[in-house]
Structure formats: structure tokens, C-alpha cells
Chains A and B, each alone.
Chain A
Amino acid sequence: MSAYVVTIATLMVVQAIAVCGLNVIVGYAGQISLGHAAFFGIGAYSTAVLTTKLGISFWTALPLVIGISALIGLLLGLPSLRVREDFLAITTIGINFIVEAVFRYVPFFGGALGIGGIPRVMFFGVRLKGIPFFLLCLGFLVLVLLICWWLTRSWASLACYAIREEEAAASTMGISPVRFKLLAFVIGTAMAGLGGSLYAHYMQFISAGDFSFPISVGFLAMLVLGGMGTLWGPVVGTLILGILPELFRPLVDYRIFFYTLLLLLMIRFQPGGLLGENSFARKIITPLLKGLRK
């Protein structure tokens, strides 16, 4: 594999981890978030600060990083998730801009220069880069997918589905909407934090712009394209939207426009995403698979 391919593949896997987290919030619990990149950034900046300023390793920092992301998710989610659903989109956009501004203007976070010199991940004395680091990220993605799968069979996710479908009815069945929305939000932001941490150690240099609002729109576009609430949707969506811009290099500058357009089109014509039930992709693929089995 060329270095170029490894770079693209690693970044896609890292993003897929964050999109899996977004799926728990948006897909499972039905709470729209347009500020997911903020939590991706919180994970990246936490690990950057911990490893460069305190000199601790990626592995020691990791539980702290996930904890910090989840805690900030809890603190920001608590007031946000109490507002009406249509305000939540606005509130989460606001969170994204505020968090980005904090990174950009607070000297502690390196200001406009960002933070550089983030160490590579050590694994049994080996400095991971290239394919080995890609495999590490892939391992984390598998872990996140396993957690997501395990979540779907839990009462907690059943409660989240019920809130997503009919909040009033769910509440008359003993489900506290605020508690379970918050739970989904915290799990989702923790996964974003994990993705952000891997991103920081891969790039070794991060700045506020890496976690701006367009990145959040991109995450949401990946999720909606792949299929909200499905297990593999985040992976499929991230793969497609990760590869497409590479094929159409000149379009990179118009990415945000493309993402937004895609989001609107998907929500209008295929709200379930490519892996959703009754999607056109499924209608094409299922008979093909059946044909193959014969």
C-alpha cells in the first residue's frame, strides 16, 4: 500500500469511530447533533495537552481523554437536551463554534498555531506509524462496533429507540427522556473523543480548524448516507465520503457544499440511508446476494 492510501485509510477509520458515536446520539436516540466535531476536537486537544505538556503516554492519557470527552459531553448535553428538538440543532452548532473558538483563542491550547509535537503511539516499544498505526485504529473501530452491537441489545438502547420514536409514549413507560438522551450523548461524545485522540496522534499537529462546523456537517452526512441507527451505516458512509473527494480532487474546496447537498437529498429521498430498510441500495443488493447464493 502506498503511503497516500494508508493516510486516507487511517483518517477514514478514525472518522468512522467518531461517526459511530454520532450514530448513538442521532441514530439510536434521535437527537440531532450538528456539533460532533467539537467532541472530536476535545479528544484531540486533551490528548495533545496531556502528552506534550505532561509528557504521559498515549495509553495513560487515553482513559483520561475519553473521560474528559464524556464529562464535557455530560455538562454540555445537560442543558442542550432539555430544549425542544428543533432547537437542539442550533444549540449543538453553537457548541461547535464555542469549542472551536476556545481552541483558537486560548493560549493554553496553542492559539492560532495549534499544538504540534504530539508523540506517536508506542506499542510494546514500537513507534506506530503507517500500516501498524492504521491497524491499531482499525482495532479500536472494531471495539467501538462491538460496543455498538452490544448496546443495541440492551434495555438502555430500547429506551433510546422509544424516545426517538415517541417521546411522550416512552415517558409513560417509565423512561426518563432526559436521562437516556444524556446517556446516548455521553456515549457518543466519548467515542468522538477516542477518534479525536487517534487523529491527534496520527497528525502529530492539530489546530482549531480541524474541528470546525463543516467537519460536523461531514460527520452527519456520512452517518445519514450510510444509514442512521444501523450498525454498519457509519462505516459505509465514512468509506464512501472518504473516497469520493479523493477521486474528485478539484471538488475538495466545495466539500461543505457537497455534504450539505447530500444531507438534504438523503433526508428527502432516503431518510434511512443506504443500509436502511427499503433503501434503493438494499433493493438492488439483496436480490444480487440471493442470486449469488443460488
Chain B
Amino acid sequence: MNPEPRRITTDVAIVGTGLAGFAAAVFCLDRGIAAVQLGHAGALTYTTGYFDLLGYDRGRSIDDPWRALADLGATWPGHPLARLPRSTIEQAFRRFAEAIGDLGIAYVPPGATNVRALLPTGLAKTTSSIPRTMAAGAAALAEKKRTVIVDFIGLVGFSAKEFVTNFAADWPGLSSAHIGFPDLDGGAEAYPEVMARALEVRATRERLAARIRAVVGDADCVGLPAVLGVHAPDRVHAAMEELVGVPIFEIPTMPPAVPGLRLRELLEQAMPARGLRLVSQHKATRVDLRPDRIDFGYRDNFGEVVIEARTAILATGRFLSGGLVAERSGLRETLIGLPVEQPAGRGDWHRDDCFDVRGHPINRSGVVVDDDFRPLDHDGVPVHPGLFAAGAILAGQDWVRQRCGAGLAIATAWRAVDGVARMSGR
């Protein structure tokens, strides 16, 4: 049909539409670097919405993430976050949170210390930065406010009673209420995304607010599963607080959940308007490393497209997103075939106890980079002068157990963009 592939030329190709990829896109646009970003739905969709910087060290909660980051090099030599100065991490994190805030999801910026945020099980976790829609929850926990947690008929996998039961010892003024969500209260399974979209309509908000008011009693605060809108959560949240008359907060829920969906939809819709060339729902299938550029091929309905990029940022994530693949014989990087640092054999990938606080060795596997975050070949030489990597694909970290996912993605994206900027002369 179309034998000649179409060609796009750009300063930088960003491969991956997770937090690292989008953070890189934000930073590139800030610096006037022309960027093409390519990717499909990945792990971002599942996120709780909290932006972690560094929350835990082998199961121990960290109060001061900055001090812990400064010490990280000693306990985790080669950890990507240990290779970045505090100023870079702070700057990247602040700038990204600010950019997201401008798009309609404000984050309480990370402070000097971590905060305790709420989990749907009725446990707390240590994190760094909380979306505004969830912020009142951390405050309510810290101040032990009289709070009522509301859940909905037909919502499976979130139980206000579970939350209240498990927090009871820690948080005496907590109670639960089970109510029907307007028009979804017939008993059939009710999905968070459907509720969230419904709440973007004012009439639904008013009806839900009336039902919530009926159960608030003398509580000072109301907690809900995360359903306060997909596209304009801050607006929906503010409107609901006004209608109910007390502070309201969201609690993350299991997939299919709203917080990650929100971030993805928002970024996908708003970034192109700011100058990003975004090719969403497509995967790069082919790479050609040339002396002066890197070509990425992908296919759409009309045939092959080649992105000719002077530089590139690989932010393809791990197994869930498809950046890495596990074969019976070993781990592989899927797009370029980069060397993957990994345990000796499959028997060493995981520990016997899945909840071992030391984490699984496989979590630390990944792509090895130099101080500019350029992937290295087997001889320790950069694979290509213009190729950088960022985010969860990097070796030497365990973002799940350390609770450093967002921090890792954002800070390493910043450093990768530094390299891109140097190469592009900006």
C-alpha cells in the first residue's frame, strides 16, 4: 500500500508514556527541545496517585527522604537516585508537580519530611507528595479528626468498614457509612471510572452530596474511594467540599482505578497542545542506531513510520509495561537488546517469601547507565552517544519496596534531558 515509510525528524524521541516519559516530555518542552513521544498504556494506569520519593528502607519507614537519599549511596551503590544531587531531584520533582498542577491535578509539593498517606486497607504508607484530592486524608490521620469513610453499594474491592476496622486502634474518631451512588445503586457492580465521569456533571454531584450530608453526622471530614472526576478532579473535589460542607478526601482503590487513568488521560490530552508530538497507543517495533541519529520504527493503520531522532530517551518501564521481558533462560531488554544486569539464574530471581522486606533480586535488575544516564554495553561503553534511559527500566533500584517510583521516574528523566539538551546544543 505504502512501500516508503513516512519519516518524522526530531531532536529527541521519547519512548514510553509512563511517568518517566511524560516527565521527560515536560522537561524537553520547557527547554525548547522538539520531542516526539511514543507509547501505549502501561504501568502508569495502575498508580495510587501518590508521588513517592523515597519512603522505605527494608520495611522501615523513612521520615526524612533527603537524608535517606544522601545515605543511599552507602547502602545501595549504583542506585539511580544516589547518583543525582539533591538539587536535581528537588528541582525535577517541583517542576513536574507544578506542570501537572497547571493541567488540573494539583499536588502538595514534597516538603522536608515525608507524610503518612492512606491506603484502602486501612494502613498508612509513607510518601512524599499527595494530590490535592487526597491531601485532607493525610491531615485527618495526622490530627485524628472525626471522620466518616463512605463506600458505595456495588463497589467491589473497597470497603469502608475494612478501612475503619484496621485503622481503629490508631484513629478512634473514625466511622463508616455505606450509601448508594446516584443511578448506580441498583446493586449491580459499580465501577469507579463510571462514578468519576458521572461526578463531572453538576446534578450528580448535588445528588451525591445530599446523600453524603445525610451520613456525615458530627464528623469533621469525609473520606471516599477515589471517584472525584477524571478530567478536572480539583474542580470536582472543590465543588463537592462546598456542597457537603466539610473537607473531603479520596482514598486510592484497586484497579480499574481512577488516579492513574486521570494522570494518563490528562497528560495525553494536554501535552500535544503544548507542542509535544505524541504518538499514543503505538509501540516502537524497530530501532536503528546510526552514527549521528537513532531511528525508531512503528506501524500505524497506513503502514510504517520512522522517527529520525538526534537523541532518544528510553523510558519503557519493566515487565508490566513491556520494557523488559523474562524468558526461561534470562531477562532481556525488548527494544534495543541492551544488556540487562540480572541475577545469575532464574532460581535467584525471587526470594522464598514474597513479602521479604529485602525485596526480590529481580527488582534490582535492569539497564546499566553511566553518570549521564546513557545505557552501557557489555564493555561499559555507552551504546550510543545520543541514547539515554530513565525510569523503572534502570538497574540498581527497587521502586516498589523502596516507594520511590515517581521520584525515580521524574529525577532520572531530568538528568536524561540534561544529556539531550547538551547533545542538541540547548
User: Is the A/B pair a real complex?
Assistant: no
- The residues of A with any CB-CB pair to B shorter than 8 Å are none
State the B residues within 8 Å of A (CB): none
